[in-house]
């Protein structure tokens, strides 16, 4: 087995791009004020420790007791919740990844459904990207309540190009998107340095697959992976696995949360990323011209022009 490439001397944290990131872990409930207090305190703590970008999990705004409850609690992008986080980004001078916001989109009145929206805010509080989850989680697992996200959520329609940030180019995804490697490869092909998967994995799937999938995406795409996660019991019917983590392009877990709310910090070293890609140039060896030739398959594709820089439909 090949040894991990020796890490070069890391640049000073102030060198851009690259730097310290934080993956937050919380236990959201249907109480939006409780969730705001929990998340904002952790963002402030991460900023005080030097994080340049802070990543929050899916459902940071709330986790409803039922699909109907989630629809009632959802807000548009110009609502109170996003406004608070825009102000928080400005106050803390950090970029914020708000993964899995329950968005009442422009088609709310006609569809009565929401989007699972991953927002990226810069340190001025501007919304620089709004990715809407492509793959909706519909599953009935033994010993767990059936979850059918598609019953109240619209799927997104496009994959956004990676967004330049002070810590590198960030590719946006949400939770269940993790299980579709084509999405990650498309983001890697479009220039991503960091893949981010804000999540609320079930206890069953998390124990079996969470770290395995995240490390696999990091290894095969040769990207850093930042995965903020929900942890613990949200209601009588639902609980999440937790274990927020950051992995490097070799698949090494650099930082990971344990039990309970909190955060983990890791340094994004883009010189190490370039070294891994140079010494094991798997991306250049891919045969995308061949893979799509098999019946029932398609090429990995590339990220589209998307709506980075806007909060489009």
Which residues are annotated as catalytic?
58, 133, 175
E strand intervals along the chain: 19-26, 53-56, 95-103, 114-121, 127-132, 138-139, 147-148, 153-154, 163-165, 168-172, 194-196, 224-227, 229-235, 238-241, 245-247, 253-256, 262-268
Say which residue the tokens 């825009």 belong to: 86
Peptide bond into 17 cis (omega under 30): yes
Helices 181-189 & 203-221 angle (0-180, nearest 10): 30
Question: Six-digit token pair at 223?
Answer: 């990207």
Phi, psi at 276, each rounded to 5°:
-60, -45
Question: Nearest-5° angle of CA 128, CA 256, CA 83?
Answer: 30
- The residues, ordered by sequence, that sit 6+ positions from 213 with a Cβ below 8 Å of its Cβ are 178, 179
- The residues, ordered by sequence, that sit 6+ positions from 289 with a Cβ below 8 Å of its Cβ are none
Phi, psi at 152, each rounded to 5°:
-140, 5
CA distance 236 to 76: 27
Say which residue the tokens 């406004």 belong to: 83
CA distance 149 to 102: 12
Give the single-character DSSP code of 58: T
CA distance 224 to 303: 18
């Amino acid at each position: 087995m090949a040894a991990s490439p020796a890490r070069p001397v890391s640049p000073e944290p102030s060198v851009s791009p690259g730097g310290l990131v934080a993956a937050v872990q919380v236990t959201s409930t249907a109480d939006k004020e409780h969730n705001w207090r929990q998340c904002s305190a952790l963002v402030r703590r991460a900023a005080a420790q030097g994080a340049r970008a802070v990543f929050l999990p899916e459902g940071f705004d709330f986790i409803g007791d039922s699909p109907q409850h989630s629809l009632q609690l959802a807000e548009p992008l110009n609502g109170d919740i996003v406004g608070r986080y825009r102000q928080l980004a400005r106050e803390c001078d950090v970029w914020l990844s708000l993964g899995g916001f329950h968005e009442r989109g422009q088609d709310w009145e006609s569809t009565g459904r929401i989007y699972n929206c991953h927002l990226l805010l810069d340190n001025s509080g501007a919304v620089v990207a709004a990715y809407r989850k492509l793959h909706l989680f519909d599953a009935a697992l033994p010993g767990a309540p059936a979850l059918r996200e598609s019953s109240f959520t619209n799927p997104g329609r496009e994959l956004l190009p990676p967004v330049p940030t002070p810590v590198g180019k960030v590719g946006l995804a949400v939770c269940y998107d993790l299980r579709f490697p084509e999405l990650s490869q498309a983001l890697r092909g479009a220039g991503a340095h960091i893949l981010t998967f804000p999540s609320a994995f079930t206890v069953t799937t998390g124990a079996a697959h969470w770290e395995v999938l995240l490390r696999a995406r990091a290894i095969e795409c040769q990207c850093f992976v930042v995965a903020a996660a929900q942890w613990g019991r949200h209601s009588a019917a639902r609980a999440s696995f937790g274990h927020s983590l950051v992995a490097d392009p070799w698949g090494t877990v650099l930082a990971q949360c344990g039990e309970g709310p909190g955060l983990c910090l890791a340094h994004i070293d883009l010189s190490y990323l370039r070294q891994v890609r140079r010494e094991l140039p798997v991306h250049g060896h891919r045969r995308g011209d061949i893979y799509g030739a098999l019946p029932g398959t398609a090429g990995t594709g590339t990220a589209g022009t998307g709506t980075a820089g806007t909060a489009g439909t």
